[in-house]
Each structure stands twice: as structure tokens, then as C-alpha cells.
């Protein structure tokens, strides 16, 4: 079952997509979008998490700029629009919106109180920032662009974190990947998986760089990780 809910903040209200499991109580996972909004891929990720037994909540993080954005990576026009939105995007405000989402998610009917985060691309960066600044029971960041610019925040990270990096990522150069791996080498709560030959967004179903095998491997690793920390 899925539904739309509204999340209220001092700055205004925004929507979120919610997918529910067959049985509750259940842990909640907040799903953080790419630069394409709550599109079919994000809703699919939520539905898959619900099938695994979680309440999945995907907030509309572009609401301050344009509510209801839903794009793909299949045309130059959509890419241009998505990049323009992200250029104007306020990351710090988004972290506060995620905090509001997490508070609502924990209190949803049927929620067990345990909460995880998972994000893709821009949402991967936001997952890391929210895990470090707010905290969660577990977090998974897929190819989070820009994490290398916030390595100092690993010092305050207590949340168990899994990171998936594509070795041929066009937006996270090898030097940035090496810096992330070095920064997490001594952190027992962090595990980093790299995917040889894969490009950015290899787990974006229907995307131009989608790779079924790599996506399935990352999904299995994430599923085991969430089961360990949210079960």
C-alpha cells in the first residue's frame, strides 16, 4: 500500500511518498531522492523496501524550489532542468527538511521507532550529512556526490553507514573516492563497497548507466545491513 502525506515545518509544508509493508510494527526508512525528484525510480525503491518489511518515506526535497518535480535522465531537457534545480538547491535547508521527515516517520502509525536512511546521488550526500548531523539507526549512501568536500563530518558520525561507490563515476573522481576510503579506514561503523567498471547511478533502474548485476549486489548488501541494524 502507498500513500502521500504532508510534512509541516516552520518554513512551510511539503509532500512525501509513503510505501507500507504488509505487516507492522515495522522500522522506517527515509529514502532521499536524486536530482530528478520523487520519480518512478524513487517510488520503486520505496515499494521494494516495503516488500522487505519496512515503512518507506520519500520526501519532496525540491519543494522550496518547485514542488512535485518528477524527471528522468533520458533527455537533455530533463537533465538541464534537474541540474538547474540542484544548482539552486539549499543543502543545509534540505538537512533540516530531512530532520522533519525523520521525526514524522518515526511517529507514523505502525512505525517501530527504529529508522534508517538511504539516498542516491544527491540523496547519497544528504544521507551522509543527515547521518552525521542528526543521527539514525543505519544509513546507506549510493554514489553520494560531494561527500569528499565534507570529510571532516566523519569525525562526528556515530550512525552505522554503508557506502556504494562506482569506480568509474563521472561525478566522483577516483581521487575523491580514495579520499573517502582513507577517511573511513579506521571507522568500524562505516563500510565502503566499490563497483569496478560501473558508472554513476548504476542502480537507477531504467537509467542510462543502469547495471542489473551491480544494482542487485548493492541491493543485497544494503538489505543485509538494514536487517542487521533495523530488525
pLDDT per residue over 64-101, tens digit each? 999 999 999 999 999 999 999 999 999 999 999 999 99
Q: How many CB atoms lie within 10 A of CB 105?
A: 25
Q: Confidence band (pLDDT; 50, 70, 90) for 143? A: very high
Q: Confidence band (pLDDT; 50, 70, 90) for 208? A: very high
| DSSP H or E segment with residue 194 | strand 190-195
Residue 194: per-residue pLDDT: 98
Set 169, 199, 209, 229: catalytic member: 169
Rounded-to-5 percentages of helix, strand, coil across the chain = 40, 25, 35
Residue 50: per-residue pLDDT: 98
| pLDDT tens column, 162-201 | 999 999 999 999 999 999 999 999 999 999 999 999 999 9
| pLDDT tens column, 14-72 | 999 999 999 999 999 999 999 999 999 999 999 999 999 999 999 999 999 999 999 99
CA distance 111 to 93: 26
User: Does residue 1 have a pLDDT over 90?
Assistant: no
CA distance 131 to 118: 10
Q: Using an 8 Å Cβ cutoff, are 67 and 25 in contact? A: no
Cell numbers placing 117: 536512511
Set 45, 164, 199, 200: catalytic member: 200
Q: Confidence band (pLDDT; 50, 70, 90) for 147? A: very high
Q: Confidence band (pLDDT; 50, 70, 90) for 231? A: confident
Query: Strand, coil or helix: what is 75?
Result: coil
Catalytic residue flag (residue 164): no
Name the residue with cell 540523496. 123
- CATH, residue 93: 3.40.50.1820
Angle between helices 91-106 and 122-133 (to 10 degrees): 70
| pLDDT tens column, 197-206 | 999 999 999 9
Task: Tell me the residue length of the chain.
Answer: 231
CA distance 175 to 216: 26
Q: Could you give the number of structural domains in the chain?
A: 1
Domain containing 35 equals: 2-230
Counting DSSP H helices and E strands in the chain, the numbers are 6, 8
Name the residue with cell 563515476. 169
Burial 51-81 (b: 16+ CB within 10 A, else e): ebbbbbbbbbbbbbeeeebebbbeeeebbeb
Question: For residue 109, which of 21, 212, 231, 173 has the smallest C-alpha distance?
Answer: 21
Catalytic residue flag (residue 200): yes
Amino acid at each position: 500500500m502507498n500513500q502521500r502525506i504532508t510534512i509541516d515545518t516552520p518554513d512551510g509544508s511539503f509532500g512525501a511518498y509513503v510505501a507500507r509493508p504488509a505487516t507492522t510494527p515495522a522500522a522506517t526508512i527515509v529514502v532521499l531522492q536524486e536530482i530528478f525528484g520523487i520519480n518512478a525510480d524513487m517510488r520503486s525503491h520505496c515499494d521494494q523496501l516495503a516488500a522487505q518489511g519496512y515503512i518507506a518515506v520519500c520526501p519532496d526535497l525540491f519543494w522550496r524550489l518547485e514542488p512535485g518535480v518528477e524527471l528522468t535522465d533520458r533527455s537533455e531537457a530533463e537533465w538541464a532542468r534537474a541540474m538547474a534545480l540542484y544548482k539552486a538547491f539549499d543543502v543545509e535547508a534540505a538537512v533540516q527538511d530531512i530532520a522533519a521527515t525523520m521525526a514524522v516517520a518515526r511517529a507514523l502509525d505502525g512505525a517501530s521507532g527504529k529508522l534508517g536512511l538511504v539516498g542516491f546521488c544527491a540523496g547519497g550526500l544528504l544521507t551522509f550529512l543527515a547521518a552525521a548531523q542528526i543521527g539514525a539507526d543505519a544509513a546507506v549512501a549510493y554514489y553520494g556526490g560531494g561527500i569528499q568536500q565534507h570529510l571532516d563530518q566523519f569525525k562526528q558520525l556515530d550512525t552505522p553507514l554503508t557506502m556504494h561507490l562506482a569506480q568509474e563515476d563521472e561525478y566522483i573522481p577516483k581521487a575523491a573516492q580514495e579520499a573517502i576510503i582513507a577517511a573511513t579506514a579506521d571507522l568500524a561503523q562505516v563500510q565502503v563497497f566499490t563497483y569496478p567498471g560501473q558508472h554513476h547511478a548504476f542502480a537507477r533502474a531504467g537509467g542510462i548507466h543502469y547495471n542489473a548485476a551491480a544494482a542487485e549486489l548493492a541491493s543485497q548488501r544494503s538489505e543485509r545491513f538494514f536487517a542487521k541494524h533495523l530488525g
